[in-house]
Amino acid sequence: MFTSPLLGVRNLRVAFGPSKRSLEALKGLSFDLLEGEVLGIVGESGSGKSTLALALMGLLPPEAQISGEVLWEGQPFSARLRGRAMAMVFQEPATALHPLFRCGQQVEEAVRWHHRLGTQQARRHVWSLLERVQLTEPERIYRAYPHELSGGQRQRVLLAIALAGHPRLLIADEPTTALDTVTQQGILNLLQELRRQEQLSVLFISHDLSVIARIADRVLVLHQGEAVETGNAQRLLQQPAHPYTRGLLACRPSIQQRLERLPSLQEVLRAADAYRPPPPVRAEEVARRRRRLYAQTPLVHLRQAGVRYSVRRYFWSAAHQEVVALADIGLEVFPGEIFGLVGESGSGKSTLGRVIAGLQKPTVGEVHYRSVLLNAMPPEIRRQMRREVQMVFQDPYRSLNPRMTVGEALREPMYVYRLHATERQRQRAVAELLERVGLSAGVAQRYPHELSGGQRQRVCLARALSVQPRLLVCDEITSALDVSVQADILNLLLDLQRDFGLTYVFISHDLSLIYQLCDRAMVLRQGGIEAVGTPEQLLANPPTPYVRRLVEAIGG
pLDDT in tens, 95-141: 889 999 999 999 999 999 888 888 889 889 999 999 999 898 888 89
Q: What is the dihedral of CA 222, 482, 523, 176, to 10 degrees?
A: -50
Contact at 8 Å (CB) between 445 and 437? no
With cut-offs at 50, 70 and 90, classify the pLDDT of residue 1.
low
pLDDT tens column, 371-404: 999 888 888 889 999 999 999 998 888 899 999 9
Q: CATH number of 5-242: 1.10.490.10, 3.40.50.1010, 2.60.40.10, 3.40.50.300?
A: 3.40.50.300
The reported pLDDT for the residue numbered 314 is 58
- The percent helix, strand, coil of the chain (3-state, each to 5) is 40, 25, 35
DSSP assignment, residue 17?
S
Domains of the chain by residue range: 5-242, 284-552
Do the beta carbons of residue 378 and residue 386 sit within 8 Å?
Answer: no
The upper half-sphere exposure of residue 38, i.e. CA atoms within 13 Å in the direction of its Cβ, equals: 22
Give the residue among 71, 69, 75, 50 at the shortest CA–CA distance from 61: 50
| CB 38 within 8 Å of CB 12 | no
**Residue 501 pLDDT more than 90?**
yes
Beta carbons within 8 Å of 120's beta carbon, 6+ residues apart: none
Q: What is the band of 555 on the pLDDT scale with cuts at 50, 70, 90?
A: low
Q: Starting from the edge strand earliest in sequence, which strands make up the sheet with 338-342, in order?
A: 389-392, 471-475, 503-508, 338-342, 520-525, 528-533
Find the mean pLDDT for residues 188-197.
90
Instruction: Give tens-digit pLDDT for 212-253.
Output: 989 999 999 999 999 999 999 999 988 999 989 988 888 888
User: Each residue of 177-189: pLDDT tens digit?
Assistant: 878 888 888 899 9
- Sign of the Cα torsion 234, 238, 242, 244 reads positive
- In CATH terms, the fold of domain 284-552 is Rossmann fold (3.40.50)
Q: Vertex 310, ends 305 and 311: CA angle to 5°?
A: 135
Helix axis angle, 406-416 to 453-465, nearest 10°: 20
Res 25: pLDDT: 92
Contact (Cβ atoms closer than 8 angstroms) between residue 194 and residue 159: yes
Residues 529-541: b if buried by 16+ CB within 10 A, e if exposed: bbbebbbeebbee
Burial classification of residue 262, based on how many CB atoms lie within 10 Å of its CB (0-12 exposed, 13-18 middle, 19 or more buried):
buried
Nearest to 368 by CA among 333, 324, 337: 333
Residue 504: strand, helix, or coil: strand
Express each pLDDT in 403-457 by its tens digit: 999 999 999 999 999 998 899 999 999 999 999 999 999 999 999 999 888 899 9
> How far is Cα 127 from Cα 108, in angstroms, rounded to an integer?
9
Question: Is residue 316 over pLDDT 90?
Answer: no
Q: Nearest-5° angle of CA 359, CA 363, CA 369?
A: 50
Distance CA 306, CA 293 (A): 27
Topology alike, domains 5-242 and 284-552: yes
- Residue 478 and residue 507: Cα distance in Å, rounded? 10
The pTM of this model reads 0.87
Task: Give the chain's end-to-end CA distance (angstroms, integer).
Answer: 27
- Calculate the average pLDDT of the chain: 90
Reduce the DSSP state of residue 54 to 3 states and report it: helix
Provide mean pLDDT across the span 16-45.
Answer: 90
pLDDT band at 150 (very low <50, low <70, confident <90, very high): confident
Contact between 70 and 7 under an 8 Å Cβ cutoff? The reply is yes
How do residues 44-55 score in pLDDT, each as one tens digit?
Answer: 888 999 999 999
Q: Give the pLDDT confidence score for residue 309 in this predicted structure.
A: 83
Residue 296, number of CB atoms within 10 A of its CB: 11
